[in-house]
Amino acid sequence: MVAGIFSIIMSKTNLKSLSKDEMFDFTVSHGLPRYRADQIIHRIYEKYASSIDEITEFSKELRKALEELAFISCIRIVKRLVSSDGTEKFLFSLDDGRLIESVLITDKNRLTLCISSQVGCALGCRFCRTGKLGLTRNLKSHEIVDQVIAVNRILAEPDVITSRAHLAKDKDGVFLPRKITNIVFMGMGEPLMNFDEVVEALWKIVIFTGISRRKITLSTAGILPKLPLLPQQAPEINLAVSLNATTEASRSGIMPVNRKYPLAALIGACEKFPLGPGRRITFEYIMIKGVNDTPGDARRLVKLLRGLRCKINLIPLNHDGPDGLRPSSEKNILEFQEILDLNKMTALIRRSKGGDISAACGQLASPQL
Ligand code: SAH
Ligand code: SF4
């Protein structure tokens, strides 16, 4: 009996797994006009419907008939933590019980969601707690997009806890609509190690949620074979590269992936990366005491990145960095930045938010994984 029910569920179509064309094909192949596909898309991605019953444009009979054929999968929220700075962390459970985290960062009139692309990560960077977990599995594209839908659904609730103090008001003093405006792939996982699903998720986000591709950033540790494929296959989003060191030896010491895809080749791939007008690559550089923070490192960084259209984010290591790594001193960080400034490089110091709820960069590591 259980097996019988399971096979029925398995044969149903998950509407969230469908692209726009597939949604049209699905409705047309079941004798429904194309506008029905638009109605389903609107309900799922703009009204955050979690069941077919919520597609109220459809008559009761039609909803019943659709329920025989299809369902709407939903990641489930397990825990929600709010930081003293307004940052929020969401722990989600997937269909198979695996857990992932997403982080919502409130900043003036921006609501940025930091999303996960994998359960864990295989790359094992020494400074990163996600890396300590190893990889459990890749996320499907709909599980990636569902983080956006789930948080938007929460934000649309009238009793939302999120600190509104940071948000802009319109001219009448009314808070602006509560909806995610920006997305960063900086949560759990290495997006380019889950390339196909991430590319599909990017298209779904751009086409279905209305978030502009200019407001989406993918961060990678530098998976070289995939880097040139990104602009060929994905919408034109922003690229961030986790650089974190200026010599092959020091980068390999903290990022084992550097032994396979070395720094020199990574910079070469960035030089070839096509950039539209006004676009720049962001290089992320975690400042770690005694590892990568000397004036010599700063000068080598200038040399490495000279001629590249880029900006550099200097990120003091989050305090709970594993393996006894410590953040650079404030003095070292400022001196490092000054050398970059003097050499006409754009370098900002980025302080992680949400430290008190382990929501900051590199701190995402669900306990049950
Ligand atoms: N795997 C991708 C994206 C997820 S990691 C990547 O590595 O780029 C997202 C960002 O968090 C990366 O820039 C990474 O360098 C940063 N990060 C990881 N651990 C950190 C830590 N302990 N302190 C500060 N930033 C960290
Ligand atoms: Fe993976 Fe990125 Fe963490 Fe490195 S920094 S272990 S690539 S998630």
pTM above 0.85, yes or no: yes
Among 114, 104, 169, 121, smallest CA distance to 144 is for 114
pLDDT tops 90 at residue 168: no
Name the band, by pLDDT with cuts 50, 70 and 90, for residue 163. Answer: low
Which of helix, strand or coil describes residue 357?
Answer: helix
pLDDT level of residue 354 (50, 70, 90 thresholds): confident
Concatenated DSSP letters of 106-173:
EETTEEEEE--SEEE-SS--TT-HHHHH-EEEEPPHHHHHHHHHHHHHHHTSTT--S--TTS-B-TTS
Ligand 1 pocket check for 243: Cβ under 6 Å:
no
Rounded distance from Cα 249 to ligand 1 centre (Å): 19
Ligand 2, atom 8: closest residue by C-alpha: 189
Name the H helices within 234-272. 248-254, 257-260, 263-272
Q: Which ligand is nearest to the CA of 245?
A: 1
CA-based torsion, 74, 80, 82, 83: positive or negative: negative
CA angle 298/300/303 to nearest 5° reads 115
Ligand 1 atom nearest 352 alpha carbon: 24
**Can you give the pLDDT at residue 16?**
98
> Which residues are designated catalytic?
101, 361
Please indicate whether residue 205, judged by its CB atom, sits closer than 6 Å to ligand 1. Answer: no
- Residue 85: the pLDDT is 87
* Amino acid (1-letter code) at residue 144: I
Stretch among 21-25, 170-174, 344-348 having the lowest mean pLDDT: 170-174
Please tell me the distance between residue 120's alpha carbon and the centre of ligand 2 in angstroms. Answer: 9
Q: Band of the pLDDT at 6, cuts 50, 70, 90?
A: very low
Convert the pLDDT of each residue in 55-78 to its tens digit. 999 999 999 999 999 999 999 999
Tell me the pLDDT band of 353, cut-offs 50, 70 and 90: confident
State the pLDDT at residue 257.
98
Ligand nearest to the CA of 184: 1
The confidence score (pLDDT) of residue 351 equals: 84
Token pair 């296959």 is found at 233
350 CA from centroid of ligand 2 (Å): 18
pLDDT tens-digit series, residues 284-297 = 999 999 999 999 99
Q: Are strands 118-120 and 135-138 parallel, antiparallel or unpaired?
A: antiparallel
Q: How many Å apart are CA 305 and CA 292, to the nearest integer?
A: 16
Strands (E), the chain: 13-14, 70-71, 76-82, 88-93, 99-107, 110-114, 118-120, 135-138, 182-185, 216-220, 238-242, 281-287, 310-316, 347-349
Residue 240 CA: nearest ligand 1 atom is 8
Nearest Cα neighbor of 57 from 42, 77, 72 is 42
C-beta 188 within 6 A of ligand 1: no
What structural domains does the chain harbor? Answer: 14-71 (1.10.150.530), 76-357 (3.20.20.70)
258 lines ligand 1 (CB under 6 A): no
Query: What separation in Å is there between the alpha carbon of 123 and the centre of ligand 2?
Result: 6
- Determine whether the shortest distance from the Cβ of 186 to ligand 2 is under 6 A: no
Give the pLDDT band of residue 322 (cuts 50, 70, 90). low
Q: 221 CB less than 6 Å from ligand 1?
A: yes
Number of neighbouring beta carbons within 10 Å of residue 252: 16
CA atoms within 13 A on the CB side of 135: 15
Among the bound ligands, name the one nearest to the CA of residue 322: 1
CA 23 to the chain's CA centroid: 25
How much is the mean pLDDT over the chain?
Answer: 91
Distance, in Å, from the CA atom of 204 to the CA atom of 210, rounded to the nearest integer, reads 9
Length of the chain: 369
Residue whose Cα lies nearest atom 2 of ligand 2: it is: 190
d(CA 358, CA 105): 13
Q: What is the mean pLDDT of residues 106-118?
A: 91
